[in-house]
Amino acid sequence: MTAIVYHNPRCSKSRQTIQMLTEQGIPYDCVLYLDDGLSLATLQSLLVALGFTSVRDMMRSKEPLYKALGLDNEGDEAVLLQALVNHPKLLERPIVVYDNRAQIGRPPEAVMRLFSI
């Protein structure tokens, strides 16, 4: 089975996660979500795989854009999802998906919970 990594090459945590998976011999495919974008269906799927009940849990709430869009007081989950579709930069990263489960790589070692190594 191949893992999927939602990857931002400019993020050190994302690069460290990729390096760790490579060193462990875990096969993965990268999704360059900043280039490719994120669909509503993908985001909903990630939310379930992460086991989160709120979209906010997978958002970069300290990102200046988050505050600029007024999302800190937004209670509507659909609005938060649409903000991620429109601004994928707001997605917390990296996210690794494996066997219908997902983990945010903060710290990068956290993703190893997905694999029985």
Spatial neighbors of 15 by CB under 8 A, at least 6 apart, are 9
Question: Which candidate in 1, 2, 10, 11 is catalytic?
Answer: 11
In 3D space, the residue among 41, 22, 36, 43 whose CA is nearest the CA of residue 95 turns out to be 43
The yes-or-no answer on residue 11 being catalytic is: yes
In 3D space, the residue among 114, 97, 104, 116 whose CA is nearest the CA of residue 13 turns out to be 104
Query: Could you give the CA distance from residue 86 to residue 47 in angstroms, rounded to a whole number?
Result: 17
Active site residues: 11
